[in-house]
Amino acid sequence: MLPATKPYIGEGCVTPYPMRDVIWRTLWSLVQATLFRWSPRPWHRFRVELLRWFGATIPEPDKVVIFPTATVVFPWKLTLHARAMIAPNVRVYNLAPITLHYGANVSQNTHLCAGTHDFLRWDMPLVAQPIVIGENVWIGADVFVGPGVTIGELCVVGARAVVVRDLPPRKICVGHPCRPIKDRALPRYDKS
């Protein structure tokens, strides 16, 4: 039997979030658009404390860098370990948990996107999968990292790459879609 009206994408779509999350996210949006955004650039600790107040897991707040133009959708789904850095204009679209391990560096204009929709259904329900950025990973500028991706330790992701699959540790990866092109040697110390 055919429906009475022609179906459309998003028909019957409802928010998957409880009212508590909707209210908390609204409050966070206000704080992020004012106190967070207007804070002076070197006030990383202040922004970290705002994130922690809204539930982010940041065990060593003095050792994390996050810039005022970065945006985080759900602070309570964000984990930042020591020496992690989120650069200017990074979008942390963490509909599922996003974790940056020790020393992970996410460069400017990157989009960490932990959610998509099931396009095989008319109501397009949310499909959220975590993103894990390994120790000492460097994600170059303007990179897109999709839902469910894990990037292995010491991996380098080249600028403007599109990462839709896991990347192995200790590789240099580039492209659209992103793929490993060569091994990454352990960085050295220069004593100048």
Query: What is the rounded average pLDDT for all residues in the chain?
Result: 94
Strands of the sheet containing 171-175, edge to edge, are 65-66, 85-86, 105-106, 138-139, 156-157, 171-175, 178-183
Mean pLDDT of all residues in 63-76: 98
Task: Report, as residue numbers or ranges, the catalytic residues.
Answer: 101
Quote the pLDDT of residue 17.
84
- The model's confidence at residue 1, banded by pLDDT at 50, 70 and 90, is low
Residue in the block written with tokens 């005022």: 68
pLDDT tens per residue, range 125-172 = 889 999 999 999 999 999 999 999 999 999 999 999 999 999 999 999
What CATH code is assigned to 56-183?
2.160.10.10
- Could you tell me the CA-to-CA distances from 169 to 25, 98, 103, 151, 188 in Å, in that order? 34, 18, 14, 7, 17
Residue 123, pLDDT > 90, answer no
pTM exceeds 0.75: yes
Q: Are 162 and 149 in contact (CB under 8 A)?
A: no
- The model's confidence at residue 120, banded by pLDDT at 50, 70 and 90, is confident
